[in-house]
Structure 1
Amino acid sequence: MQGSSSISSSSVDAPTPRCHCGVTSPIRTAWRSNYPGRRFYGCSGYGTSRKCSFFQWYDPEPPAHYSDVIRRLLETNECIRSENTELKKTRQELLDELRHLQQSVHETRAELEVAIAASMDMEDNMVASVATTRRRGVVIIVLISVIVLLVFFFRSKSLADPFFFLSSRLENIINSINLFSLICSVDLIALALCF
C-alpha cells in the first residue's frame, strides 16, 4: 500500500483477515492515497520492524469523483483549521494587548490621583499663604499708620513745653478722638486694599 497512512482502526462483525504475520489485521483508513477516506485491512505491525506488507480494501471501489470530493473537503478542513489557529493567535495577542492597556490605564489613574492630591495640597497651601500674607499686610499697615500718626501727633506738639502732658483734659480727649478716628480710617483703607 503506497502513500496511505492509518489514523484509525475498528472492529467489524465480519471475519477479519489475517496478515502475512498471522496476526488479525485491523481496519484502517487511508488519507494520503488516491482514495482518501477509504477503509482497508492492514497489518497491525505496519511501520514497525516486522515489515509486513499485507493490504486488502475493506470498502468497495468508490466512484471516480469520490477522491476529488474528499480531497477538497480535506483541504477545506485544513483551511478552517489554519484560520482557527490564526484567530486563536490573534485573539491571544489582543488579550495580551488589552491586559497591557488595562495595566497602563491603572498606572496612569494612580499617577493622576497622586498629581490631583498634590495639586489640592498646593492649592490649600497657597490659600493659607495668601491669607497669612494678607493678615501680615494688615498688621504692617496698621503698625505703620500708628507710627505715622504718633509721629505726626508728637511733632505737632512742642516737646519743649513742660506742661504738654498737663494741658487741658478736653484738648487731650479731642486729640485722642481725632487720632483714633484717623487710625480707624487708615485701617479701613488698609483692609479694603488687602481684600
Structure 2
Amino acid sequence: CRCGPLCELKISWSAANPGRRYFVCKIGKDNGGCKYFRWFEDEFPEQANRVIWGLLKRVKAFDQERDRAKKWKNTIMFVAVLVALIIWLF
C-alpha cells in the first residue's frame, strides 16, 4: 500500500468469493487512501465455495430457528407470569 504499512486483512462474503481473504488500504479510498487491493491467497476451488455457502446457509437457518425459539420462550414466560398474577389476585 502506498499509504505506508496500513494494509488491513479482510474476508470477502460475496457470492463469487465466500470466505476468501484479501488486503486493502486501511485508510480506505473514500477517506483519501490509495486503492490498494490484493488477494491474500489463491482462488478457492468451486467445491470449497459450495461447501462454504452450504455451511453459511445452515448457520443462518440455525440462527433463525434460535430467534424463533427465543420469541416462543418469551411468549410462554409472559403467559405464565400473567396466569400466576391472575391466580395470586383471586
Aligned equivalent of 1:68? 50
Question: Which residue identity is paired with 1:49?
Answer: N
Q: TM-score, normalised by structure 1?
A: 0.42
Taking a change above 3 Å as real, the CA distance of residues 75 and 85 of structure 1, as seen in their structure-2 partners, is same
Question: Which residue identity is paired with 2:13?
Answer: W
Residues 6 and 27 of structure 2 are in contact (CA less than 8 Å); yes or no, is this contact kept in structure 1?
no
CA distance in 2, matches of 1:97, 1:87: 15
Is 1:104 aligned to 2:90, yes or no? no
| CA RMSD across the alignment | 1.8
Aligned equivalent of 2:10? 28
By how many angstroms is 1:52 displaced?
Answer: 3.2
Taking a change above 3 Å as real, the CA distance of residues 47 and 89 of structure 1, as seen in their structure-2 partners, is farther
* Higher share in strand: 2
The structure whose Rg is larger is: 1
Is 1:45 aligned to 2:27, yes or no? yes
Runs of 4+ aligned structure 1 residues displaced above 3 Å come to none
SS of equivalent residue, structure 1 residue 90: helix
Q: TM-score, normalised by structure 2?
A: 0.84
* Higher share in helix: 1
Taking a change above 3 Å as real, the CA distance of residues 79 and 46 of structure 1, as seen in their structure-2 partners, is farther
Percent pairwise identity? 23
Aligned equivalent of 1:59? 41
Instruction: Pick from 69, 74, 88 the counterpart of residue 70 of structure 2.
Output: 88
Residue-pair matches, total: 90
CA distance in 1, matches of 2:4, 2:72: 52
Structure 2 alignment gaps of length 5 or more: none
Structure 1 alignment gaps of length 5 or more: 1-18, 109-195
Greater relative CO, 1 or 2 (CA 8 Å, sep 6+): 2
SS of equivalent residue, structure 1 residue 45: coil
